[in-house]
Chains A and B, each alone.
Chain A
């Protein structure tokens, strides 16, 4: 049986590919080391956090899945991979939409392809980071079949980040304040997610219950916990956590998509 796509879908796929290629090419344009930066960047980030929170503040990471290491570096990395993917999508979406808005005033094309293309390029970047992660896991001999849940966590984060990106990019096209507002919110959100600390740290009398619930059940934290189960604890994620993550991801993506489709036609009329 011949599988054939409708012309408009094929057109969208060509465009998504184009935007993904453009984003990937422009990322390290005029740089000598090129893609090498993709590896260096997460390594340095992990290194700095490891030094500050691990060596200076003596954070105590939980035991890894293989039961013979306490690696704060790996603990950080499993969280940062998801966090970087998420923020890259939210901040990228605004940039990707802005970069095609002039074009869209002169020629019609489905605007969402610019965001989907950018997201695809971000995903490639994340896959490179996953390669580094697997190497580190191998070095610690902390590796197992549960790694299959890592792509699951990535897809969930992708749905959520892109859904949010759909919404904020349209708002940002109207009011440029949104970009700065999101910058601040994401900075704050970083500490609402257990990346540089463990959730157990919050189990103390001095910390209000609400803060603990927020940190445990906010969507990005859920994705990070799944990614940690997959690559750090080497265990199957809790089913209720997984369902909550899935609900966040699907709902946000659908709402964002519908909102974007409805609003994106007016982008050509923005000054």
Chain B
């Protein structure tokens, strides 16, 4: 398989709902024999998706449509219940706040830890450390434990690591929205650069302007991939659906 390709093949993902989940041995024992069918929830249903190496792919959909879960499956954090996900090459993921930082370690230690998780040696990481600190703009805070960071600093450092390890695949989940305007622009510029270098980028966002930058956009609705195509087609179909459901809501109000 080519480096940078992502193949999602017939993937379904089931989660168990927490309220019905036994959290102690006692509860688990008391529950033996009871049916649990109702506790399950299918977040993704039979999703097929081929993302070519070097493409910039956008994922769009309402809250809870399964976008983040799909991204996590690509990142290898979860295993699909049915089907398979293959992502070849060095994969860097920015999922929600904190992106794999350990709160008690300093920013610098976390950079090394993240590097280790990507299979990058300490030596190589030291070489790109200055770039990472520079890009994140967190300055001396790099030697403070990340638990004292502001959410903006968290994201900035996370992004700085993710883009400075020369990934083959970059997964970004909405996080850059947390940074200020200036940082957002720098991120976009950097993503453009990575894209030009041939990095596959998968981006989850509600920002339709950002979606226009993508080669392809996929629209997830209640766990189903309903449409994949050019940004123009998919985004307008999505917006149409949003508008029509808003109208239905209004009709109810009246």
Contacts and interface: CB of A to CB of B under 8 A. Distances in A.
25 contacts: A11-B117, A14-B120, A14-B121, A14-B122, A15-B117, A17-B116, A18-B112, A18-B116, A104-B77, A106-B93, A106-B96, A106-B98, A106-B99, A106-B100, A107-B114, A108-B77, A175-B24, A175-B25, A181-B25, A265-B78, A268-B72, A269-B16, A269-B78, A271-B21, A271-B23
A247 B28 CA distance: 33
Contacts of B203: none
A10 interface: yes
A105 B72 CA distance: 9
Nearest to A8: B119
Contacts of A17: 116
Contacts of A18: 112-113, 116
B79 interface: yes
B117 A107 contact: yes
A109 interface: yes
B75 interface: yes
Interface of B: 15-16, 18, 21-26, 28, 72, 75-79, 91, 93, 95-96, 98-102, 104-105, 109, 112-114, 116-122
A108 B85 CA distance: 14
Contacts of B100: 103, 106-107
A176 interface: yes
A76 to B, nearest CB: 35
Contact of A175 (B28, B78, B113, B114): B28
Closest 7 CB pairs of A and B: A107-B100, A11-B119, A108-B76, A109-B117, A14-B116, A177-B25, A106-B100
B26 A177 contact: yes
Main secondary structure of the interface of A (DSSP, over half): helix
Nearest to B27: A175
B120 to A, nearest CB: 8
Nearest to A29: B104
A271 B76 contact: no
A22 interface: yes
A7 interface: yes
Interface string A258-271: 00000001101101
A15 to B, nearest CB: 5
Interface string A159-192: 0000000000000000111100100000000000
A108 B75 contact: yes
Contacts of B119: 7-8, 10-11, 14
Contacts of B109: 22
A106 B28 contact: no
A70 B18 CA distance: 59
A254 to B, nearest CB: 23
Given A18-B116, A265-B79, A268-B78, A106 B95 contact: yes
